[in-house]
A = this chain, B = another copy of it.
Amino acid sequence: MAIESHKIHEALNWRYAVKRFDPSKKIPSVDWQTLIETLRLTPSSYGMEPWRFVVIENPELRAELRAASWNQSQVTDSSHFVVFLAKDNVSETDIDQYLQRVANARGTTVESLAGFKSMLMKNLVKAMTPEQAFQWSQRQVYIALGFLLKTAALLKIDSTPMEGLDPLRYDQVLGLEGSGWRTVLAVALGYRHPDDAYQKHKKVRFTADEIIQYK
């Protein structure tokens, strides 16, 4: 059954990038499971899922990451703080492992996917430098960002997408160097503080006519 349009409009208008979270409020487990499932089921180019998500629970780690995020309070005061990682390269091994998973899930053989493999090798390995592959991975991560922010709003969970962080410092703090994964962005999730003035700011957006054209 489809969800009523007005509930989607309401969620879109309700959300904003929270500046100050209420540190006393925690996301209930049932909602957290829905947020995780949203990340898990996000679609990606070719289905490659070139992403990982690190949920930072340790308070010392949160404090270190806050220092690497212009001291923004959302890092330590949100209920859940999730770092989004992208794959820094795509190799033939990655593709073979992916095709094995496809074959397993669909009860077929890797050999039957030879044509798909050629296409993946051509588009993701041969046609791309490692840096271009990382750019491609990063773009996929932003689909997951969109999915997560949207689900959060539907559940009336607040969020702050954070690009304003030092990704290299994050990589160091999280021990990612040499892992094949790099920090792209983070999302703080929880509940707005009643005193966060930003919730009263009027949304600034182009009108539909300004951004949508019919041809």
Q: Which residues of A contact B (CB under 8 A)?
A: 1-3, 5, 7-13, 15, 17, 30-31, 33-34, 36-43, 45, 47, 49, 51-58, 61, 101-102, 105-106, 135, 138-140, 142-147, 149-151, 154-156, 161, 163, 174, 201-208, 211-215
Contact = CB atoms under 8 A, between A and B. Distances in A.
12 contacts: A12-B37, A12-B38, A40-B211, A54-B214, A57-B214, A106-B204, A135-B135, A138-B139, A143-B146, A146-B149, A147-B150, A174-B215
Contact of A106 (B17, B142, B156, B201): B201
B211 A52 contact: yes
Nearest to A202: B105
A11 B139 CA distance: 23
Contacts of A174: 215
A210 B184 CA distance: 19
Nearest to A9: B37
Complex copy number for this chain = 2
Given A203-B105, A204-B47, A150 B155 contact: no
B215 A57 contact: yes
Contact of A49 (B2, B36, B144, B206): B206
B7 A1 contact: yes
B211 A51 contact: yes
A185 B203 CA distance: 27
